[in-house]
Amino acid sequence: MFSFRWTRFLASDGDGRMSPAAYFSSLPVLETDRLVLRPLRRQDAKDIFSYASDPEVARYVLWGPHQSVSETRSYIRYMRSLSRRGLPSSWAVTLRDSGKVIGTIGFMWYSEANSAAELGYSLSKSFWNLGYATEALRAVIRSVFAALPVNRLEAQHDLRNPASGRVMEKSGMKKEGILRQRIRNKGEYVDVALFAILRSDLENQPL
């Protein structure tokens, strides 16, 4: 069993990359054709609550549907506090045109010992199947490999949520296998598919 250490880095790895603590404490703004990924703000609560309260959006993620805007505010406060401490958190996924927050994407964990991290994301149902999650994930993968001394980025999805697996696949991740009853979510054990992309994958096939 691996154990992951959540650690602050105090120096760069000498390879021109940032220290993870510096990156996590000031997540960069990532711009794509249609999206701007930026750190979460207190004012995002209303937009996020509007979809995070939807049981369909929360069906396969590790959190339950938000019951109130104040729960969403607590989530944002928590993410911002992680960031202040130099720990991995999430970006708001916003539409470039309107600034509307349509989702979040970010780190489930980061391991200094293994130079690895896991990414996760969720989007408002009104914006599904338009390629937004793939656009966001590709931007995050590119940024993380460019800025951090990371060798491996993972993502996993509930087998009953194949759309998420498609997003991983379209973002250059490779499916590594099925982990049976890997997670207990909402009272049941669930099988998940594990995907990952290595730094060498990206060097061989840039996104």
Query: Which chain residues interact with ligand COA by CB under 6 A?
Result: 57, 60-61, 120-123, 128-134, 157, 161-164, 166-167
In whole angstroms, the minimum distance from the beta carbon of 101 to ligand COA comes to: 13
Closest residue to ligand COA, judged by C-beta, is: 133
* Measured distance CA(40)–CA(70) in Å, rounded: 15
CB 197 within 8 A of CB 167: no
Toward ligand COA, which CB reaches closer, 9 or 102? Answer: 102
User: Of the two residues 89 and 122, which places its CB atom closer to ligand COA in the complex?
Assistant: 122
Taking the complex as a whole, the smallest distance from the CB of residue 63 to ligand COA amounts, in Å, to: 10
Cβ 53 to ligand COA, closest distance in Å? 13
Q: What burial class does residue 15 get, using C-beta atoms within 10 Å of its C-beta: 0-12 exposed, 13-18 middle, 19+ buried?
A: exposed
User: Shortest gap between Cβ of 65 and ligand COA (angstroms)?
Assistant: 11
| 103 versus 149: smaller Cβ distance to ligand COA | 103
